[in-house]
Amino acid sequence: MDNIFGADPIPYSHLINLEKQSGDIIVYAIPVMFVLTLVEIWYSWRSNKKNYSGKESFGSLLVGLGNVAINVVAKMGLIYAAVFMYNLVPWRMTLNWWTIIPCLLIYDFCSYWAHRISHFNRFFWATHIVHHTAENYNLTVSFRLSWVQHFKIFFFLPVALAGFHPVVFFLVNQIGVLFQFWQHTEHIGKFPSIIEKLIVTPSNHRVHHGSNERYLDKNFGVMFIIWDKLFKTYQIEDEKPNYGITKKINSTVNPLYLNFHEYGDIINDVKKAKGFRQKLFQLFGSPSAVDKANKLKQAEMEAKMEAANRA
């Protein structure tokens, strides 16, 4: 085990080399993703599936391009942070290809919880809502990744503190992002049961994007669905999903609105809330609970106004 753990610290002067070693798999994959998306658009049109909206898909493209640009700019800062954490622990692992496997499992476990908490905490929901705003389900939805999703980076501290080499960490991160691309399609049906119970297939992920009551807050897995099975958040696809969020938004195209409209709503709701406890609820409460509370409050106000008008 001595040849695995106890690797030497990485000098910060080597960051440029690390950046090159980490690669830009996602950037290289963009042409392939673009071609596959064009093929799906063509097949959707030919089969009269009608699961594409020109405006919505253009909005997804703008969000995706913005996200790629942000990641390219932020990459060196993230590598610096990863090296800092790597040098901090005494059980540093050497750069071995097989360490990708345990890193992938731990990373996916952390991704499950980051994803799940993003659905039950409004502050973090604001970093994820853009991905759920599409009302049509197709490959372009995979481009709708929040520009502020790095707010959730601390959920992945266990991966960094486990001592995996920074190159391994960044390769696994890119694998996780790319794995989600193929999940966003209606043109792939269900796989054999053993596969559906192991990995996040398009069928499993369609459930996650459904706004049907039985589908809400289900299937949070990113690569492996085993976490949902383990923590009782699994739901099989047994009815056609209705895509999008339960609260309609004003635009599915404007990338600035898509990324930041929820923050505007949070600020307005916090301002209107009476008392510190209610303000915290509006900021950190479950999005569904906040929505129900706000609708109830609005109904009560309308009822009072109607009663006043009758009087």
Residue type at 79 in one-letter notation: I
- pLDDT at position 306: 76
Positive or negative: CA dihedral 59, 64, 66, 67: positive
- The tens place of each residue's pLDDT in the chain, 311 residues long, gives 557 888 889 988 887 787 777 777 888 898 999 999 999 999 998 888 888 988 999 999 999 999 989 988 888 888 888 899 999 999 999 988 899 999 999 999 999 999 999 999 999 999 999 999 999 999 999 999 999 998 898 899 999 899 999 999 989 999 999 999 999 999 999 999 999 999 999 999 999 999 999 999 999 999 999 999 999 999 999 999 999 988 888 877 899 999 999 999 999 999 999 999 999 999 999 988 888 888 888 787 777 777 777 76
- For residues 164 and 175, is the Cβ–Cβ distance under 8 A? no
* Best CA proximity match to 144, nearest among 186, 181, 187: 181
- What is the per-residue pLDDT across 136-190, written as a single tens digit (0 to 9) for each? 999 999 999 999 998 898 899 999 899 999 999 989 999 999 999 999 999 999 9
Q: What is the pLDDT of residue 311?
A: 64
Cβ(128)–Cβ(187) under 8 Å? no
Cβ atoms of residues 114 and 155 within 8 Å = yes
Q: Count the residues in the chain.
A: 311
Q: How many CA atoms lie within 13 A of 44 on its CB side?
A: 20
Q: Which residues, other chains included, contact 246 with Cβ-Cβ below 8 Å and sequence gap of 6+? A: 211, 216, 288, 291
Judge contact between 174 and 23, C-beta under 8 A.
yes
Q: What residues have CB less than 8 Å from 19, skipping those under 6 apart?
A: 75, 76, 79
> 29 to each of 24, 150, 285, how far by Cα in Å?
9, 21, 37
How far is Cα 110 from Cα 240, in angstroms, rounded to an integer?
29
